[in-house]
Amino acid sequence: MATIETIYLGELRTEAKHILSGDKVVTDAPLDNQGKGEAFSPTDLMSASLGSCMFTIMGIAAREHGFNIDGTTCSITKIMAADPRRVSEIQINFNFPVINYSDKQKLILEKAAINCPVAKSLHPDLIQKVSFNFKD
């Protein structure tokens, strides 16, 4: 059974439906590639997926070790390249709340993030620059 069903809506837009939940995501081509930029582009979603996957795996690791990462945020920057047009780099900056994480907990979180399934599924030529900003 399919996980996602997607329909092309025209005008460089798609709508993807998650079969199990019914949730929908609309994509639009970006302004620099003939689109209107009125929604996530497919490459935006890929970049967001990397950040969300890292968060998910860090959350699992934190739960398993008896601490949490609630309130942590991240900002994601996608850098495009040409010939061929592709995402060449994704920069993710994690900003943790003021929780005195131990050095061991910090290491657990960093290892979890860089080993998430999306990170390991992306082409090795794609640069993943990840920073972890812990506030003490």
Residue 47 sits in the same domain as residue 72 = yes
Residue 54 sits in the same domain as residue 79 = yes
Cis peptide before 124 (omega within 30 of 0): no
pLDDT score of 120 = 98
Residue 70 sits in the same domain as residue 110 = yes
pLDDT score of 104 = 97
User: CA separation (Å) from 120 to 17, 112, 127?
Assistant: 25, 11, 12
Q: Give me the domain span that covers residue 129.
A: 42-135
Residue 74 sits in the same domain as residue 108 = yes
Total structural domains within the chain: 2
Residue 17 sits in the same domain as residue 57 = no
| Cα gap 66→62, rounded to integer Å | 6
Q: What is the pTM of this model?
A: 0.94
pLDDT score of 98 = 87
pLDDT category at 136 given cuts 50, 70, 90 is confident
Residue 92 sits in the same domain as residue 67 = yes
Residue 129 sits in the same domain as residue 92 = yes
| Cα gap 103→122, rounded to integer Å | 28
pLDDT score of 131 = 98
CB 95 within 8 A of CB 74: yes
Determine whether 125 is exposed, middle or buried from the number of CB atoms within 10 Å of its CB (0-12, 13-18, 19+).
exposed
Residue 18 sits in the same domain as residue 84 = no
**pLDDT, tens digit, 9 for 90 and up, residues 14-57:** 999 999 999 999 999 999 999 899 999 999 999 999 999 999 99
**pLDDT, tens digit, 9 for 90 and up, residues 71-126:** 999 999 999 999 999 999 999 999 999 889 999 999 999 999 999 999 999 999 99
Residue 17 sits in the same domain as residue 60 = no
Residue 28 sits in the same domain as residue 46 = no
pLDDT category at 135 given cuts 50, 70, 90 is confident
Q: Which residues are 87's β-sheet partners?
A: 80
